[in-house]
Amino acid sequence: MAAKRKPTTSSGNKPAVGNDAPPRDKAALRDVRRRPPAVLRGGNAVSPGVAVGRAYCIRDIFIGDESRPLDDTAALRELDRYDAARERTAADLKAVYKKVLDQLGEQQASIFLAHEAILHDPAFTAKVRTWIVDSKQAAPAALQRLLGEYTDLFAYTTDEFLKERLADIRDVIIRIAGHLNETERSDEAAADEAALEGEPNILIAGELVPSHVFMLGDRDVVGIVTETGGRTSHAAILARSRGIPAVSGVEGVLQKAMSGDIVVVDGREGVVLINPDYETLTAYRKIQREFVHLRDQLTEHCDEPAISACGQKVQLMANISGVADAKAACPMGAAGVGLYRTEYLFLTHPDVPDEEEQYQNYRDAVEASPNRSITIRTLDVGGDKKIAYIGESREANPFMGWRSIRISFEHPQFFLAQIRAVLRAAAPDGRPKDVRLMFPMVTTVEEMRKIRSFVHKAERQLVERKVPYARVPVGLMLEVPAAAVSIDVLLEEADFVSIGSNDLVQYLMAADRDNPKVSALCEPLSPAVLQVLTHVIATCHAAQKPVTLCGEIAAMPRAFVLLFGMGLRSFSMSPAFVPVVKELLRRLTTERADAILKQVLKMRTTAQIIRYMDEQLQEIAPNLAMLGS
């Protein structure tokens, strides 16, 4: 057996989880003892476990309390700060316009000309400067006020053009605010943040977007709470990838919580507690320690192979969003990377990553991945993942509209640049690596053939440029019901299949997974979903084509048992869940999984299946209950 690694905490970083020590600088934090306690129920439990820490609130696009009136001297300083931020924003917009123009063309670049026009609009600037000088408001507060004014103005419009203008105004304000946040903050705000940096933090936001991750720096985030989103939102995926307890869909949490409050996040029950009493806090800290202890125990055995109780080998890989995630997957015992979501490179980039930047990123991800094995998915934007210069057109139903591979086809040079970058990363020194190239949201065999032609063209271009590259397996992410129905035909053109269960489930059930009114329908243990998964896996096996499931259900114990019973032997999941699934697998036999699946496929309702699976899991692995279902 391999040597045991030193256990880590669920934050993946400092051993601050469960730390009962007081803040380093109590005077710098608000006196939370005077604030009433609150218990917020009804949230979505999106990442299991319990965390206790100090609230760190991200309120819309601004951080901290900028609402206090300034004196005359401070107002003049604030005016200079705003002007400087505005100048940096203008420089940003000129640079990004040129880069998008070179890579995507005039139509996509024109959005940044519109943003420049907004930035230089006299009325826009005059309002902000007036509120700073006359109302003695800090620049972020003035920008927040301006955004609120425009939002109210367009609140009831049905005109799509005006709605797009509001989105443009918001983007410009966000850019200016970003530069303001880079400059010196008030002494009190700086003291608050310095004190919070010495504490385990519970990140609280209306919606967590990829750029927030970079705002956090080295902050020790041990829990996440958001007002919107579901199990497959950005916040949920980020939380699970790092093993952080999280609850989403908690309405009004930003009205109840302030930075510095003591917060408990119960990612098992979907409950958030703000400033709980001593007895309650003590009880939750005990549960938190038990949670961390169990996770550490499982991590001790992470180097052991993924083998069932009857000797069946299984490949457990990691879903990642960047190089840091790939590095984190190694100590979790992942066999490789089954899904690299490349869109996060684009979503967090200040403008547009060119081919060289992409190549460097993919090369680093290959080197950092466990066993240097990686499946790279091309750009998957649209729906809930928006980039200002691509896929931003307003649609009545964006999840079923212009997104993913459909966008890539319409920007061939942009698409080819990404493919070339991946092919180069597959052999940076002329020696082929274990790299696979996957394409999202493929619907028809015609699309798969078109993808093949793009890959061949990219190879020819690299040959002409005399740049080292490798031919790689080309596969599809199965997310569309039509593709599931015709999987046998698609397999004639694909080298492998990865099942993207997040989108597949919502499309099968015709229910937006992030809409609280219908998200309950997006249940992976639905009889219809299980029937489709059984068909797809069996068809891939019959065609002798590799099949992996890389949606979030790969790490759900209930679903894992059933997928194992279907014959699936390759899974990709958030790195933090690899040790959990390994432990479950060690207690599972193919005979038992087969028997459970046969019973489940006879059942008619989701509720019946969930009850039955809970009973089975209680017998198979009772100690894993707090780590997710």
- Residues involved in catalysis: 234, 550
Residue type at position 403: R
The two beta strands, 271-274 and 262-266, are antiparallel
Q: How many CA atoms lie within 13 A of 214 on its CB side?
A: 13
Is 431 buried (19+), middle (13-18) or exposed (0-12) by CB count in 10 A? Answer: exposed
Q: Which long-range contacts (CB under 8 A, 24 or more apart) does 613-619 make?
A: 613/525, 613/558, 613/561, 613/562, 614/558, 616/561, 617/557, 617/558, 617/561
List, edge to edge, every strand of the sheet that includes 271-274: 38-40, 271-274, 262-266, 50-58, 201-205, 221-226, 246-248, 44-47
Instruction: Judge contact between 419 and 436, C-beta under 8 A.
Output: no
Whole-number Å distance between alpha carbons of 293 and 358? 39
Instruction: Judge contact between 84 and 231, C-beta under 8 A.
Output: no
Residue 450 CA: distances (Å) to CA of 189, 261, 271: 54, 54, 47
Whole-number Å distance between alpha carbons of 431 and 183? 46
Q: Where are the alpha helices (DSSP H) in 428-577?
A: 445-465, 481-485, 487-490, 501-509, 527-542, 557-565
Helices and strands in the chain, H and E counts: 24, 16
b/e string for 295-324 if b means 16 or more Cβ within 10 A? beebbebbeeebebeeebebbbbbbbbbbe
Residue in this structure with the two tokens 């943040």, named with its chain if needed = 193
DSSP secondary-structure letter at 402? S
Task: List, in sequence order, every residue forming a beta bridge with 510; answer none if it has no partner.
Answer: none
Instruction: Judge contact between 327 and 368, C-beta under 8 A.
Output: yes
Host H or E run for residue 93: helix 72-104
Q: Count CB-CB contacts under 10 A for residue 136.
A: 16
Residue 392: name the closest of 170, 99, 177, 226 by CA.
Answer: 170
